[in-house]
A and B are shown apart, each in its own frame.
Chain A
Amino acid sequence: MEAKTAKTKAGEWRKYERVLLPPIKDLHRIDVYEANGGYKALKDAIKGEKWTPTAVTDEVKASGLRGRGGASFGCGLKWSFMPKPDGGPRYLCCNGDESEPGTFKDRQLMEYNPHLVFEGIMIACYAMSISTCYLYVRGEYADWIDQMETELAKAYAKGYVGKNILGSDFSCELIIHKGAGAYICGEETSLMESLEGKRAYPRIKPPFPAQYGVFGRPTTINNVETLACVPLILERGASWYAGLGAAKHPGPVLYGISGHVNRPGVYEYPTGMLITDLIEEVARGVRGGKKVKAVVPGGSSTPPLRADMIDGVTMDVESLREAGSMMGTAGMLVMDEDTDMVSWLRRVTHFYHHESCGQCTPCREGTGWLEDIVSRIERGEGRVRDLDLLADLCSQMEGRTVCALADAAAWPVRYTIDRFRDEFVARCRPSHVAVPALPESELEEAET
């Protein structure tokens, strides 16, 4: 046991004490949140001498916090891209769209600790001199939006949000925006278009949101979980945060584990957990004592890993990249040995086909073709050469579109086929017409 612990970058994770979702009854209520030190970091930031806006940004930078929305981009660095205030409006968008298949952690954070999210938002707005934040939540989370509206009204009433926060001259509005069912709205520029009351077509970058964001004004977009880390960083210090989990990708993470495990759910542990620990110990192993066949580490866009590829792999950007996948949203799907990877991939391609916004031809047409061809193979009507066709299609889609949805659609196809090729070949129709060799006379003719 001890030796195993020493290997993980997560350190003594069995003794880990949760900070994003600490074990406190009714923490979602503002009085309980306050009684447990809530909104203290905001008070310190706004009232204390120590925290100028730049100092807050520097502290976040020093903590090594990386975005939890999928791209794992440095949070403090992103904040520092915001231009100097020019007196006009500036925006923060808190991304609670959470539509990446396999991801269900932001919802639990919004239900169980909404004030931590609000506090993080307010500190971020203070650091970037922002006066309006939109919390964009997917429309399906209607019940959770209602509950957050109730708590938000209390935060307004107590002066943590709104005009002259805590008596200072810093004012900031927080508006919850309810989506209406579109995966693409999680993409940052699409989210901005949606806020502007348009069809949510992603924008071409550059210009980047920090220059030209919501209504053409400087904007920063951060995930819900990313912003929830901010009050903790101010309270406990950047070095505490940086020392938690994997060195280059530190901090607490909400791992959402689903699929064929005995105990699925959202678990809070540091980054750098061994995938095998997460499956075997945290989620109590694969149900029915079966073997693992594949693991998708961070939502449907991240390439699946075969069981023999996960040994020693930890949940952080570096280790996963080396293993041939990505951290994504840390929404992990575990599939047992009986899983039909062809059918599974067909459903994944269906998702991206359904969710493509249709702006770019390679994506609009490509996602449809991916679904059609994988479906053909699933029905047993495909040919082995279709696998090459799929790989070719993926190459035509990757990096040629306005947003990353096309890449996200292509990666699972490319890597699932690559890593489970035998299964796909077995599903294809055998080639029963052998290619005849050319007679020698014709060969000579062709050469001359």
Chain B
Amino acid sequence: MAESGHGKVVKLPDRDPKPAFSKEDLVFASEEKKRIAGFVEEYEKPDGAIMKALWLAQEKFGFLHPDVIQLVADEVGIPYAQAYGVATFYTQYYKNKTGKYVLDVCTCFSCQVCGGYDILHYLEEKLEIHKGETTDDGLFTIQEVECLGACGSAPMLQVTNGPYVHHLTREKVDALVDALQNGQMPSFTSITLPQDEDEMGGNRRTDVDKTEAYRTPPVAETVE
């Protein structure tokens, strides 16, 4: 019988021979565990904490690999399937490894008619990748996104779920890419309200380094 294979223990190949994270890395520090416990406190049922916990995990691990989702689900105390369902519902949770900097270019609605596609195409040519792809050096990923709520300062983009860069031109894109290559994230920009400019002579905030005023948007060359 043994010759024909019956009764023999078949050794299955390793499910994931090269795991994205080693067992030692795939843990939360006690500080992080405390923060997640704090999130759980904020909701009537622990489930409510899953989004904040996923955010925390993404900041730590870079993206939400299934093993990371498992870790988060265990920490929050909900089934893996539910955590996976949440992680895959929202666009800002990265399901795959991304470049170090993710450039989310808005081409929606107002940005479209003010040159959002010009910026997207310019970036694609400059970095020699299509939207959705990552450069070979692992630095940049380009994504085309829906309205980011900054339509008055179109065209604009967001860097890795963080700072907004407004009033984009090709020169501004060049400067941004250069700065990022040197590891410099753009800083927070406060957009001055037109009425503040008229009534207070500038931005109302004195605690931000960078301010920009609303200005006439450029003429779009392509609308796709």
**A residues near B, CB below 8 A?**
18, 21, 23-29, 89, 98-104, 106-108, 111-112, 138-143, 173, 175, 177-183, 194-200, 214-215, 217, 256-268, 287-288, 300, 331, 333, 335, 339-340, 343-344, 346-348, 351, 354-355
Chain B residues near A178 (CB, 8 Å)?
Answer: 51-52, 55
Whether a CB of chain A sits under 8 angstroms from the CB of B37 is no
29 contacts between A and B (CB under 8 A): A25-B204, A25-B206, A26-B204, A99-B149, A101-B108, A101-B146, A106-B149, A107-B149, A107-B150, A140-B161, A143-B188, A177-B51, A178-B55, A180-B90, A180-B92, A183-B146, A200-B89, A215-B43, A217-B44, A259-B151, A263-B214, A264-B217, A287-B219, A288-B219, A300-B109, A339-B113, A340-B223, A347-B223, A348-B109
* Given A101-B151, A111-B190, A343-B224; A180-B113 close (CB under 8 Å): no
The docked-state distance in angstroms from the alpha carbon of A411 to that of B127 is: 38
Whether a CB of chain A sits under 8 angstroms from the CB of B91 is yes
Q: For residues 147 through 206 of chain B, which have their beta carbon under 8 Å from a beta carbon of chain A? A: 147-154, 158, 161-164, 188, 190-191, 193-196, 199-200, 204-206
The docked-state distance in angstroms from the alpha carbon of A263 to that of B190 is: 17
Whether a CB of chain A sits under 8 angstroms from the CB of B207 is yes
Q: How far is the CB of B16 from chain A (nearest CB, A)?
A: 26
Additional 20 contacts, C-beta under 8 A, given A26-B206, A104-B152, A214-B44: A21-B193, A25-B206, A28-B205, A104-B151, A140-B92, A140-B158, A142-B161, A143-B188, A173-B42, A194-B51, A196-B43, A197-B49, A200-B90, A259-B113, A260-B217, A264-B152, A264-B153, A266-B194, A287-B216, A288-B219
Q: Mark B26-65, 1 if CB is under 8 A from A, else 0.
A: 0000000000000000111111111110110000000000
Binds A, one of B1-9, B78-86, B132-140: B78-86
The docked-state distance in angstroms from the alpha carbon of A348 to that of B92 is: 21
Q: How large is the interface on B (under 10, 10 to 19, 20 to 34, 35 or more residues)?
A: 35 or more
Interface centre among B109, B190, B199, B206 (most CB of A within 10 A): B109
Minimum CB distance partner of B154 in chain A: A258
The answer on a CB contact under 8 Å between B148 and A140 is yes
The answer on a CB contact under 8 Å between B82 and A108 is no
Whether a CB of chain A sits under 8 angstroms from the CB of B141 is no
The docked-state distance in angstroms from the alpha carbon of A197 to that of B204 is: 37
The answer on a CB contact under 8 Å between B162 and A142 is yes
The answer on a CB contact under 8 Å between A198 and B82 is yes
The docked-state distance in angstroms from the alpha carbon of A295 to that of B97 is: 41
Minimum CB distance partner of A146 in chain B: B188
Whether a CB of chain A sits under 8 angstroms from the CB of B215 is yes
Chain B residues near A179 (CB, 8 Å)?
Answer: 51, 90, 92
* Given A25-B206, A143-B164, A199-B89; A265-B152 close (CB under 8 Å): yes
Within the complex, which residue of A28, A180, A333 is in contact with B110, where a contact is CB–CB below 8 Å? A333
- Counted as pairs of residues, one from A and one from B, with CB atoms less than 8 Å apart, the total is 206
The docked-state distance in angstroms from the alpha carbon of A257 to that of B42 is: 37
Interface centre among B43, B78, B191, B200 (most CB of A within 10 A): B43
Minimum CB distance partner of A343 in chain B: B223
* Given A196-B45, A354-B146; A331-B205 close (CB under 8 Å): no
Whether a CB of chain A sits under 8 angstroms from the CB of B112 is yes
Minimum CB distance partner of B222 in chain A: A343
* Given A197-B51, A198-B86, A264-B214; A181-B91 close (CB under 8 Å): yes
Whether a CB of chain A sits under 8 angstroms from the CB of B93 is yes
Chain A residues near B50 (CB, 8 Å)?
Answer: 197
Whether a CB of chain A sits under 8 angstroms from the CB of B69 is no
The docked-state distance in angstroms from the alpha carbon of A266 to that of B46 is: 38
Within the complex, which residue of A143, A288, A347 is in contact with B224, where a contact is CB–CB below 8 Å? A347
* Given A178-B51, A194-B51; A266-B164 close (CB under 8 Å): no
Within the complex, which residue of B107, B149, B194, B200 is in contact with A104, where a contact is CB–CB below 8 Å? B149
Minimum CB distance partner of B146 in chain A: A351
The answer on a CB contact under 8 Å between B151 and A331 is yes
The answer on a CB contact under 8 Å between B194 and A259 is no
Chain B residues near A340 (CB, 8 Å)?
Answer: 223
Within the complex, which residue of A196, A333, A343, A354 is in contact with B48, where a contact is CB–CB below 8 Å? A196
The answer on a CB contact under 8 Å between A102 and B110 is yes
Enumerate the 8 nearest inter-chain pairs by beta-carbon distance, A residue then B residue, closest first: A197-B47, A101-B109, A180-B90, A181-B92, A265-B214, A181-B91, A101-B147, A258-B151
The docked-state distance in angstroms from the alpha carbon of A256 to that of B73 is: 40
The answer on a CB contact under 8 Å between B151 and A262 is no
Q: How far is the CB of B150 from chain A (nearest CB, A)?
A: 6
Whether a CB of chain A sits under 8 angstroms from the CB of B105 is no
Q: How far is the CB of A97 from chain B (nearest CB, A)?
A: 9
The docked-state distance in angstroms from the alpha carbon of A266 to that of B192 is: 9
Q: For residues 109 through 137 of chain B, which have their beta carbon under 8 Å from a beta carbon of chain A? A: 109-110, 112-114
The answer on a CB contact under 8 Å between B47 and A196 is yes
Within the complex, which residue of A98, A107, A138, A198 is in contact with B85, where a contact is CB–CB below 8 Å? A198
Minimum CB distance partner of B223 in chain A: A343
The docked-state distance in angstroms from the alpha carbon of A138 to that of B90 is: 11
The docked-state distance in angstroms from the alpha carbon of A180 to that of B57 is: 13
Minimum CB distance partner of B152 in chain A: A264
Q: How far is the CB of B152 from chain A (nearest CB, A)?
A: 4
